[in-house]
Amino acid sequence: MADDSLFEFLHMEIVSHIFNEQQSNKGELDNKDRAACISLLEAMGFRVGQGLIERLTRDTPSFKDELDIMKFICKDFWTKVFRRQVDNLRTNHQGTYVLQDNKFTLLTQFSGGKQYLDQAPKYLAFSCGVVRGALSNLGLESVVTAEVSIMPSCKFQVVIQKL
């Protein structure tokens, strides 16, 4: 659908804008520069996630516990935002959750396999932020990271920060 393409294309533009800009300021990017770009994208995602979850939970009754929230993220939120449900949710029941998406929407434009694995973090930072922002507005502070071992499958790890 074009609506989705619109988001996807804009997302690609913003990733390349942020990296190019850093590069034109600094020349060759070292790990620290790359981390700064990633964290900028993550911060944008965070604010977008906060906005999205407010709209999406407008008519949702309140959640009974943390697992209930995570299930909502994996089903309703993921479907609306990334157009499919998470394929698998695992937890150690101590605040760590692993969300496995076997066909993550922002990675489907890459060739499958391992060829572009080193590019993956750029294209996942925004989404990690979206998840963290959504959780934050539901009262859960978390650290969200993503890991790809074979495209377009992706594992998001959510570690809830206990106060």
Which residues here bind a second copy, judged by CB under 8 A?
1-7, 9-11, 13-14, 17, 21, 40, 44, 47-48, 51-52, 55-56, 80-81, 83, 126
Q: What is the DSSP string of 84-116?
A: S--SEEEE-SSSEEEEEETT-GGGTTS-SBTTT
User: Is 135 within 8 Å of 52 (Cβ atoms)?
Assistant: no
State in angstroms the smallest separation of the CB of 1 from a second copy: 7
Nearer to a second copy, 77 or 97 (CB): 77
Nearer to a second copy, 19 or 160 (CB): 19
Nearer to a second copy, 10 or 117 (CB): 10
Nearer to a second copy, 57 or 160 (CB): 57
Cα radius of gyration (the chain): 16
Task: Provide, for the chain, the percentages of residues in helix, strand and coil under a 3-state DSSP scheme, each rounded to the nearest 5.
Answer: 55, 20, 25
State in angstroms the smallest separation of the CB of 125 from a second copy: 13
Nearer to a second copy, 4 or 68 (CB): 4
Q: Which residue type does 50 have?
A: Q
How far is the C-alpha of 21 from the C-alpha of 39, rounded, in Å?
14
State in angstroms the smallest separation of the CB of 145 from a second copy: 21
In angstroms, the Cα distances linking 65 to 14, 88, 133 are 35, 19, 18
State in angstroms the smallest separation of the CB of 73 from a second copy: 13
State in angstroms the smallest separation of the CB of 149 from a second copy: 26
Ramachandran category for residue 86: left, alpha or beta (phi over 0 → left; psi -120 to 50 → alpha):
beta
